[in-house]
Every structure is written in structure tokens, then in C-alpha cells.
């Protein structure tokens, strides 16, 4: 059973991925235009290595990067964006939900290869109940301080996850209402709204 954290939100810091460009699919490309990895990770860096879908990412972290609150290295950790409920991508034989591929692409455009820091919510479990025990965190872009979780909801690429309250629930609910009113993203193309 997971235990609740009773500490103030812990903030973890990362560093930059350099000056690599990305192609239309979101992959990093070298000067010759060839796809490449994000490169060697600096010792104290936390980068988004992979975007699974609109609400789950994988981290790459240098050996001097902070540990998770439960003492594990961040290298290779899967993170579920806290407070975000993105439409599902295809998992054969189950087809993608409406806006699933677009939500995933938006998360990739916003996060892939970017330096991030994580903020945890003491009112929430540290890890979700799935088999992979993903970290639950707010993902903050180091360059500019933007909360990626909220931004995906504000742009209409995901819904506010309402099953469990968190410290930014009312903010994320407001972003969702704003996106719906403005008919952005999901709201312009899909019927039925958020679950």
C-alpha cells in the first residue's frame, strides 16, 4: 500500500538539452537533419526522454540529479502528469479515443527533450496504483517555469482529472472550462466531453 506524503512539495531541478532542433514528428535532429537521441545527459540534468501519450512521460537523469522522495534515481522513471486526464492512444485491439493521437503529439511538442523539474503534491500518493508505479507529479519546464500539466489542459489537449483532488484542482478545472468555452483542441472535435 502506498503511503501519503506529509512533507511540503519537493522540487527537483534539471538542466538544458542544448541547442538541438526537432523535426515535425518531435524527434531531435543533428546539423545534417538526421534524427538523434537527446545526447549525453549532464550529471545534474532531468530531461524528458520519451512521451508515451498525453499524460505519461519517461525521464532521463544524470547521476547527480536528485532522487525521488522515496529514494529512487530519476533515470528511467515514468511520470504520470498529476491532475491530467488525456484521451487514450491506440492500444491494439482497442482503438484510440477521440483526440488521443493529437493529445500525445501536443505533449511530445511541449515536453520531449526539455529540461524539467518535478513538484509533488503532499495530499496525493507519490505513485499511482498501476503495475508500473508511475510517479505522480507536476512537470515544470525549467525554461520559463511553465506547468506542463496545466498547459495541456488549457490548450484543450487533456481534461482535468477530477477523481482525486490535488492542490491545483481548481486551477486545472478552470483551464478545462476555458478550453471548452473557447472550443480548443479536444473540445472542437470530440463529443461527450470529459469522463
Class of domain 21-189: mainly beta
Give the model's pLDDT for residue 28.
53
Q: Where are the domains of the chain?
A: 21-189
Give the model's pLDDT for residue 135.
96
In order along its 195 residues, the chain shows pLDDT tens digits of 333 333 323 333 333 344 456 555 445 556 666 655 544 556 778 999 999 999 999 999 988 899 999 999 999 999 999 999 999 999 999 999 999 999 999 999 999 999 999 999 988 999 999 998 999 999 999 999 999 999 999 999 999 999 999 999 999 999 999 999 999 999 999 988 786
Give the model's pLDDT for residue 12.
35
Give the model's pLDDT for residue 50.
97
Rounded CA gap, 63 and 81, in Å?
A: 23
Q: Classify burial at 39, counting beta carbons within 10 Å of its beta carbon; exposed 0-12, middle 13-18, buried 19 or more.
A: middle
Q: What is the pTM of this model?
A: 0.79
Grouping H, G, I as helix, E, B as strand and the rest as coil, residue 92 is: coil
Q: Is the peptide bond before 93 cis (omega within 30 degrees of 0)?
A: yes
Q: Would you list the DSSP string of 138-166?
A: EEEETTT--BHHHHHHHTTSSEE--SS--
Amino acid at each position: 500500500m502506498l503511503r501519503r506524503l506529509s512533507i511540503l512539495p519537493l522540487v527537483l531541478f534539471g538542466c538544458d538539452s542544448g541547442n538541438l532542433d526537432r523535426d515535425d514528428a518531435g524527434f531531435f535532429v543533428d546539423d545534417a537533419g538526421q534524427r538523434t537521441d537527446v545526447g549525453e545527459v549532464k550529471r545534474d540534468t532531468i530531461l524528458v526522454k520519451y512521451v508515451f501519450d498525453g499524460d505519461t512521460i519517461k525521464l532521463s537523469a544524470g547521476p547527480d540529479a536528485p532522487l525521488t522522495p522515496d529514494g529512487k534515481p530519476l533515470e528511467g522513471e515514468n511520470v504520470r502528469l498529476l491532475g491530467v486526464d488525456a484521451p487514450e492512444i491506440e492500444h491494439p485491439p482497442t482503438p484510440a479515443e477521440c483526440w488521443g493521437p493529437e493529445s500525445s503529439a501536443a505533449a511530445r511538442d511541449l515536453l520531449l527533450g526539455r529540461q524539467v523539474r518535478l513538484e509533488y503534491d503532499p495530499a496525493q500518493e507519490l505513485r499511482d496504483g498501476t503495475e508500473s508505479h508511475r510517479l505522480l507529479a507536476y512537470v515544470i519546464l525549467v525554461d520559463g517555469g511553465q506547468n506542463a500539466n496545466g498547459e495541456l489542459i488549457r490548450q484543450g489537449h487533456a481534461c482535468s482529472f477530477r477523481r482525486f483532488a490535488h492542490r491545483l484542482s481548481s486551477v486545472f478545472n478552470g483551464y478545462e472550462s476555458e478550453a471548452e468555452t473557447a472550443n480548443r483542441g479536444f473540445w472542437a472535435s470530440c463529443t461527450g466531453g470529459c469522463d
